[in-house]
Amino acid sequence: MTTAEKYVTAAYCAVFAVVLVYVVLIALKLQRLERDVDELERKEPAKDDERETISVG
Amino acid sequence: MESVARSHRVSLPVLAVASLVLVTLALALVFFVVPNDADQGFSQRIFYFHVSIAFTAYACFAAGAWKALLHLWKRDPRADLESYVAIHQGVIFGVLVLVTGSIWAKISWGHWWLWSEDQLVLFLVLFLFYAAYFMLRFSVDPGPQRENFSAVYALFGVVLIPVSFLAIRIAKSFIHPVVFTLHGPSFGGWILVTYLVAQAALLVLAYTLYRIELAGKLIDVRLRELRFA
């Protein structure tokens, strides 16, 4: 492998690495958001149950 | 929130597949089809992604400014988020311009960086200007004031794009190559085809990443609203 080939490979690998890191970070964030949505969904039925147990009159 | 929840025309999976196909095609053309440059040899192959990434970064900054203008004009909260995400994309592509440019400079000129080159320094100024955008944005509490400050800053930054782009054309002495002149590109054949495919690939990739990040931001906003409702 010549010096030029090594540098060109390094440049394209750098592009790939940056895009990959970015995609991984976004994926992690979306996973966190998914967990938050699940958490909110679990809380919502609990709130509904509380409302049902309150006796009226 | 209605304006924030608008749907887009092209679905994300379609965009993701298009990005993958175009980037793969561009890489295949760069490494297996396009001939070696007579002057620079194999190292000229960095050009296809370096220049395409640079134009993509400019496009992201311009889109960020356009969305900022829309925000100031229509007071649309989604436009502020779109402006922020576009500038974020621009900064990421800006990092790639600097990295690939430095590697190419090292092969061609023997230096990682040359402070005497107006094109390089002006791009660095543009990049740092937009990097400072995030410092401004996150130093102000969320709300209309932050949105307005960010929008005005993004609009100021767009002035630097033509300055950065034209600097090399105005300067009399330079070693940074000029490939796009008033008479069109200074190349043709497979080099032009490969460049155009690479440019399309990076624009579609940037738009896909923009849509993914924007979708995440919109869900984040909606979740915060639900928590405090």
Greatest C-alpha distance within chain B? 65
DSSP output for B66-114: HHHHHHHHH--HHHHHHHHHHHHHHHHHHHHHHHHHHHHHHHHTS-S--
pLDDT digits (tens, 9 = 90+) for B194-223: 999 999 999 999 999 999 999 999 988 888
**Confidence bin at B184 (pLDDT 50/70/90):** low
Taking an 8 Å cut-off on Cβ atoms, the answer to whether A33 and B41 are in contact is no
| Structural domain contains residue A54 | no
Residues of chain A positioned with their CB less than 8 A from the CB of B104: 7, 11
Does the residue A14 lie in any domain? yes
- The reply to whether ipTM tops 0.90 is no
Distance CA B7, CA B3 (A): 9
Q: How far apart are CA B153 and CA B129, in angstroms?
A: 9
Q: Is B16 on the interface with A (CB under 8 A)?
A: no
Q: Name all contacts of A34-38 with Cβ < 8 Å and 24+ positions apart.
A: A36/B223, A37/B219, A37/B223
Contact A33 B219 (CB under 8 A): yes
Mean of pLDDT over chain B? 86
Query: Residue B102 and residue B116: Cα distance in Å, rounded?
Result: 14
Q: How confident is the model at residue B7 (pLDDT cuts 50, 70, 90)?
A: low
A46 lies in some domain: no
Report yes or no on A4 lying in a domain: yes
Q: Is the residue at A48 inside a domain?
A: no
- Quick check: B70 pLDDT over 80? yes
The residue ranges of every structural domain in chain B are 42-170+179-227
Domain that holds residue A18: 1-39
DSSP string, B175-224: -S---EETTEES--HHHHHHHHHHHHHHHHHHHHHHHHHHHHHHHHHHHH
Number of independent structural domains in chain A? 1
**A37/B42 touch (CB, cutoff 8 Å), yes or no:** no
Report pTM. 0.84
d(CA B67, CA B80): 7
- B37 phi and psi angles, rounded to 5 deg: -70, 140
Residues A24-54 pLDDT 10s: 999 899 889 888 888 887 877 666 555 555 5
